Chain A
Amino acid sequence: MTDIQAIAHQLAEVLTQYSADYIEARLEESQSSHITYRGRELDSIGRASATGGNVRAMVKGAWGFVSFNNLNDLRGRVELAVKQAQFAGNEESQLAPVEPVVDILPTEPDKNPVVIPLADKKQLLDEYNDIIWRTPKLQTSMIGYGDSYKKVIFLNSLGSYIEQDRADVTLRLTAVATADHEVQQAVLSLGSRGDFSLIQGLHQPVEQMAEHAVELLSAPQVKGGEYTVVLDPILAGVFAHEAFGHLSESDFVYENDRLREIMTLGRRFGSSQLNIVDNATMPGLRGSYKYDDEGVPATKTYLIGEGKLVGRLHSRETAAKMKEKPTGNARAINYHYPPIVRMTNTYIEPGSASFEELIGDIKEGIYVKNWYGGTTSMEMFTFSAGEAYMIRHGKLAEPLRAVVLTGNVFTTLMNIDGIGNDLKMNQGGGCGKGGQVPLPVANGSPHIRIRHCLVGGR
Chain B
Amino acid sequence: MEQILAQAKRVAEEAEVFMVSAEEAPVQFEANRLKHIQSKQSSCVALRIIRDGKMGYATTTELGDSQNLVNAALETAQFGMIAKFELPSLTRYPEIEVFDPRVESVSIEEMIKLGQELIATVRGHTPDIVCEAGVNKEIISVHIINSRGGQANYRQSVFSLGIEGHLIRDTDMLFVGEVQSSCHPLLEPKAVTGEVLQQLELAKNRASAPSKPLPVVFTPRGVASALILPLMVAFNGKIVLEGASPIGNRLGQPVFDEKLWLWDDSTIAYRPESRPCDDEGIPSQRTPLIEQGRVANFLYDLQTAALAHTRSTGNGTRTGGGLPTPSPSAFIIKPGDTTFDEMVSDIKEGLVIEQLMGAEQGNILGGDFSGNVLLGYKVENGKIVGRVKNTIVSGNIYQLLKQIIAIGSETKWVGGFIQTPPLYYPTLSVASK
Chain A residues contacting B81 (CB-CB under 8 Å) are 41-45
With known contacts A48-B58, A139-B244, A382–B358 Cβ distance under 8 A: yes
Q: Which of B62, B172, B175 has the most CB of A within 10 A?
A: B62
Q: Which of B41, B62, B243 contacts A49 (CB 8 A)?
A: B62
**Smallest beta-carbon distance A257→chain B, Å:** 8
Q: Which of A69, A119, A378 has the most CB of B within 10 A?
A: A69
Interchain CB contact under 8 A, A46 and B58: yes
Chain A residues contacting B44 (CB-CB under 8 Å) are 50, 69
Interchain CB contact under 8 A, A262 and B170: yes
Instruction: Name the residue of chain A whose CB is nearest to the CB of B65.
Output: A49
Interface flag for A184 (CB, 8 Å): yes
**Smallest beta-carbon distance B124→chain A, Å:** 19
Chain B residues contacting A43 (CB-CB under 8 Å) are 81
User: Which among B90-98, B147-155, B338-346, B366-374 touches the partner chain?
Assistant: B366-374
Instruction: Name the residue of chain B whose CB is nearest to the CB of A89.
Output: B34
Interchain CB contact under 8 A, B60 and A50: yes
**Smallest beta-carbon distance A453→chain B, Å:** 10
Chain B residues contacting A47 (CB-CB under 8 Å) are 57-59, 72-73, 75-76
We find that the number of chain A residues with CB closer than 8 angstroms to chain B is 79
Chain B residues contacting A381 (CB-CB under 8 Å) are 372
Within 8 A of B (CB), among A221-258: 221, 224-226, 255-256, 258
In the assembly, what is the distance between CA of A46 and CA of B371, in Å? Answer: 36
User: Which among A285-293, A352-360, A396-404 touches the partner chain?
Assistant: A396-404
Interface flag for B390 (CB, 8 Å): yes
Instruction: Name the residue of chain A whose CB is nearest to the CB of B68.
Output: A49
Chain B residues contacting A19 (CB-CB under 8 Å) are none
**Smallest beta-carbon distance B309→chain A, Å:** 16
Interface flag for B361 (CB, 8 Å): yes
Interface flag for B102 (CB, 8 Å): no
**Count, A-B residue pairs, CB within 8 A:** 249
Interface flag for B205 (CB, 8 Å): no
The digit string for B52-70, where 1 denotes a CB below 8 A from any CB of A, is 0000111111100100100
Interface flag for B294 (CB, 8 Å): no
Interchain CB contact under 8 A, A379 and B323: no
Interface flag for B198 (CB, 8 Å): no
Interchain CB contact under 8 A, A45 and B392: no
The digit string for B389-433, where 1 denotes a CB below 8 A from any CB of A, is 110111000100000000000000000000000000000011111
Chain B residues contacting A119 (CB-CB under 8 Å) are 78-79
Instruction: Name the residue of chain B whose CB is nearest to the CB of A140.
Output: B242
Interchain CB contact under 8 A, A457 and B431: yes
Q: Which of B371, B389, B429 contacts A382 (CB 8 A)?
A: B371
Interchain CB contact under 8 A, B37 and A262: no
Interchain CB contact under 8 A, A255 and B30: yes
**Smallest beta-carbon distance A247→chain B, Å:** 10
With known contacts A373-B361, A378-B173, A457–B394 Cβ distance under 8 A: yes
Interchain CB contact under 8 A, B365 and A44: no
Interchain CB contact under 8 A, B358 and A383: yes
**Smallest beta-carbon distance A197→chain B, Å:** 21
Interface flag for B40 (CB, 8 Å): yes
In the assembly, what is the distance between CA of A240 and CA of B393, in Å? Answer: 23
Interface flag for B191 (CB, 8 Å): no
Instruction: Name the residue of chain A whose CB is nearest to the CB of B321.
Output: A48
Interface flag for A452 (CB, 8 Å): yes
Instruction: Name the residue of chain B whose CB is nearest to the CB of A259.
Output: B168
Interface flag for A101 (CB, 8 Å): no
Interface flag for B108 (CB, 8 Å): yes
Interface flag for B194 (CB, 8 Å): no
Interchain CB contact under 8 A, A410 and B361: no
Interchain CB contact under 8 A, A404 and B390: no
With known contacts A80-B39, A226-B433, A185–B365 Cβ distance under 8 A: yes
Within 8 A of B (CB), among A70-120: 70, 80-81, 84-85, 87-88, 118-119
**Smallest beta-carbon distance A365→chain B, Å:** 16
Interface flag for B207 (CB, 8 Å): no
Interface flag for B105 (CB, 8 Å): no
Interface flag for A145 (CB, 8 Å): no
Chain A residues contacting B43 (CB-CB under 8 Å) are 69-70
Interchain CB contact under 8 A, B246 and A181: yes
Instruction: Name the residue of chain B whose CB is nearest to the CB of A337.
Output: B40
Interchain CB contact under 8 A, B175 and A377: yes
User: Which among A57-65, A164-172, A271-279 touches the partner chain?
Assistant: A57-65
Chain A residues contacting B190 (CB-CB under 8 Å) are none
Interchain CB contact under 8 A, B362 and A68: no
Interface flag for A455 (CB, 8 Å): yes
Interchain CB contact under 8 A, B62 and A51: yes
In the assembly, what is the distance between CA of A70 and CA of B40, in Å? Answer: 11
The digit string for B13-57, where 1 denotes a CB below 8 A from any CB of A, is 000000000000000001101111111111110000000000011
In the assembly, what is the distance between CA of A238 and CA of B73, in Å? Answer: 37
In the assembly, what is the distance between CA of A330 and CA of B80, in Å? Answer: 39
Interchain CB contact under 8 A, A458 and B76: no
Instruction: Name the residue of chain A whose CB is nearest to the CB of B171.
Output: A410
With known contacts A46-B59, A70-B43, A457-B431, A84–B38 Cβ distance under 8 A: yes
Interface flag for B310 (CB, 8 Å): no
Interchain CB contact under 8 A, B37 and A62: yes
Q: Which of B60, B75, B172, B245 contacts A379 (CB 8 A)?
A: B172
**Smallest beta-carbon distance A353→chain B, Å:** 26
Interchain CB contact under 8 A, B166 and A52: no
In the assembly, what is the distance between CA of A226 and CA of B431, in Å? Answer: 8
Interface flag for B141 (CB, 8 Å): no
Interchain CB contact under 8 A, A456 and B393: yes
In the assembly, what is the distance between CA of A181 and CA of B246, in Å? Answer: 6
Chain B residues contacting A85 (CB-CB under 8 Å) are 37
Chain B residues contacting A35 (CB-CB under 8 Å) are 79
**Smallest beta-carbon distance A291→chain B, Å:** 23
Instruction: Name the residue of chain A whose CB is nearest to the CB of B432.
Output: A454
**Smallest beta-carbon distance B250→chain A, Å:** 8
In the assembly, what is the distance between CA of A367 and CA of B172, in Å? Answer: 29
Chain A residues contacting B390 (CB-CB under 8 Å) are 380, 408, 454
The digit string for B73-117, where 1 denotes a CB below 8 A from any CB of A, is 101101111000000000000000000000000001000100000
Interface flag for A66 (CB, 8 Å): yes
Q: Which of B30, B36, B42, B323 contacts A44 (CB 8 A)?
A: B323
In the assembly, what is the distance between CA of A81 and CA of B37, in Å? Answer: 8
Interface flag for B192 (CB, 8 Å): no
In the assembly, what is the distance between CA of A351 and CA of B72, in Å? Answer: 50
**Smallest beta-carbon distance A234→chain B, Å:** 14
Interchain CB contact under 8 A, B361 and A70: no
**Smallest beta-carbon distance B27→chain A, Å:** 8
Chain A residues contacting B398 (CB-CB under 8 Å) are 181
In the assembly, what is the distance between CA of A164 and CA of B315, in Å? Answer: 40
Interface flag for A191 (CB, 8 Å): no
Chain B residues contacting A84 (CB-CB under 8 Å) are 37-39, 108
Interface flag for A16 (CB, 8 Å): no
Interface flag for A406 (CB, 8 Å): yes
Interchain CB contact under 8 A, B37 and A49: no
Interface flag for B238 (CB, 8 Å): yes
Chain A residues contacting B238 (CB-CB under 8 Å) are 38
Instruction: Name the residue of chain B whose CB is nearest to the CB of A40.
Output: B242
Residue pairs across A and B with Cβ atoms less than 8 A apart, 23 shown, are A47-B75, A48-B60, A52-B61, A64-B38, A65-B36, A66-B39, A66-B41, A68-B40, A68-B42, A69-B43, A69-B62, A70-B43, A80-B39, A118-B75, A178-B244, A183-B366, A336-B42, A338-B36, A380-B374, A384-B370, A404-B362, A457-B429, A458-B394
Binding site for B on A (CB under 8 A): 34-35, 38-39, 41-52, 62-70, 80-81, 84-85, 87-88, 118-119, 122, 139-140, 176, 178, 181-185, 221, 224-226, 255-256, 258-259, 262, 336, 338, 372-375, 377-384, 401-404, 406, 408, 410, 452, 454-458
9 extra A-B contacts, CB within 8 A, seeds A49-B62, A176-B365, A401-B368: A47-B73, A48-B59, A62-B35, A66-B39, A69-B42, A84-B39, A378-B173, A404-B392, A454-B392
Closest CB pairs A-B (n = 9) = A382-B358, A456-B370, A255-B31, A224-B431, A46-B57, A84-B37, A404-B370, A384-B361, A258-B168
